[in-house]
Amino acid sequence: MVESIFMDNSSQPQVNRPLGVFASIIAGFDRVAANPSLLLPPILLDLFLWFGPRIVSPRLFESYADMLVMPAGTDQALIEAMTAAVEEFGRRLNVLVALNSFPVGVPSLMASRLPLLNPLGSSLTYVVNEPGAVVLVALCALVVGLAFGVIFHRLVARQMAPDRRLASFGAAWTRVLLLTAFIYIGGLLLVTGVLMVASLLSLLAPVLGATILFLSFSAVVWLVIYMLFTPHAIILYRFGLKKAILESIRTVRFNLMSTFSFVVITLMITWLTNQVWMLPDEASWYGILALGGHAFVCATMLAASYAFFQDRRVWAQRASAILAARRNAYQQAADSDQNLADRYEGE
């Protein structure tokens, strides 16, 4: 009787081999190549950040550069180089790069280049030095960027799951806003707490403070990996924020090494290709080609993430069902053996 429980698997769910990392990337490549309209959101955002108006706050960074405190004995050339770097960053930083929002946003090449020039000359520049105004503009840009990010994710998700009913724009945007607030506020509290603890431990032994920082950074990296597919679960399956986070964690838990490999490979592909897209001068029309290439790679990686998550989620559900069935079978066998033993002792 026990043997039949384990030998007869016809009624148990079967697990096919899940989609691999490179197979997911190929699937994403095929869908983006077949639907080049998916390139429009990244290209349009990059064109806006390249040719559109700039909102800068150089005086804030100049003040920060003046407040830099370096250890005694630091080479003066190093101090001057760091001060110049901070001031140059302040000149280039366009507050509107917040449109390239995290964690759900339209990818942008110009958000990392921070160009001062374009093929038509220089863009219209507005200087805002009040910290409150800068924060307000950045928050507004972040909220708008998240809206465009949700639209972009829905376009990609529709191509990867044409028969699925996706979350509506309003519901997805609301949940993404909650996710963003959770990440930013939680991250701020976490960083503050870790820095306080590390500072206190450093008074006892510097190595303790460094260890706390390293362990905290490692924990954050793994937390990001476990929560990686939260936006996917929100948009694809219309889950609420809590359920989407738990679904992402559950899927990654069953596919931890594959997910880690997927993250590493996609980041490497994106980083390596970005080195090519950065080659044209910011004032050269060849930059248009770079924008197209960047948009294609980023759209492919996003589509691949949807293909990977969908397949791995199904695989995790089936694997979980099989594990539950096997546990029930073992329990039934154990109960049967116990009943036989009790009957034998009774006789």
1: pLDDT strictly greater than 50: no
| Domain that includes residue 269, residue range | 2-57+93-346
User: Peptide bond preceding 107: is omega within 30 degrees of 0, i.e. cis?
Assistant: no
Percent of the chain with pLDDT over 70: 85
Residue 149's closest CA among 197, 110, 99, 198? 99
Q: Is the dihedral of CA 234, 240, 245, 247 positive or negative?
A: negative
Q: Is 318 inside any structural domain?
A: yes
- Comparing 186-195, 222-231, 253-262, 272-281, the range with the smallest average pLDDT is 186-195
pLDDT digits (tens, 9 = 90+) for 132-178: 888 899 999 999 999 999 999 999 999 999 888 999 999 999 999 99
What is the rounded CA–CA span in Å between residue 155 and residue 302? 11
**What global pTM score does this model have?**
0.85
Per-residue pLDDT, 3: 42
pLDDT band at 22 (very low <50, low <70, confident <90, very high): very high
CA angle 185, 187, 188 (to 5 degrees): 65
**19 neighbors 308 (Cβ within 8 angstroms):** yes
Q: Where are the alpha helices (DSSP H) in 227-282?
A: 230-237, 241-254, 256-277
What pLDDT is attached to residue 10?
A: 47
| 75 close to 53: Cβ distance less than 8 angstroms | no
Pair 156, 235: CB distance under 8 Å: no
Residue 329 has pLDDT above 90, yes or no: no
In a domain, 66, yes or no: no
- pLDDT value of residue 6: 39
The pLDDT of 304-329, averaged and rounded, is: 84
- Establish if 63 belongs to a structural domain: no
Is residue 327 included in any domain, yes or no?
yes
CB 92 within 8 Å of CB 256: no
Number of domains, the chain: 1
Residue 73 in any domain: the answer is no
Contact 261, 18 (CB under 8 A): no
- Distance separating alpha carbons of residues 274 and 179, to the nearest angstrom: 28
Least confident of 38-42, 56-60, 115-119: 56-60
Q: How much is the mean pLDDT over the chain?
A: 86
Q: Which residue has the higher pLDDT, 216 or 304?
A: 304
Whether the per-residue pLDDT at 347 is higher than 70: the answer is no
From CA 281, how far away is CA 57, in angstroms rounded? 24
Average pLDDT of 93-116? 92
The sign one gets for the Cα dihedral 320, 323, 325, 328 is negative
**Between these two residues, 195 and 285, which has the higher pLDDT value?**
285
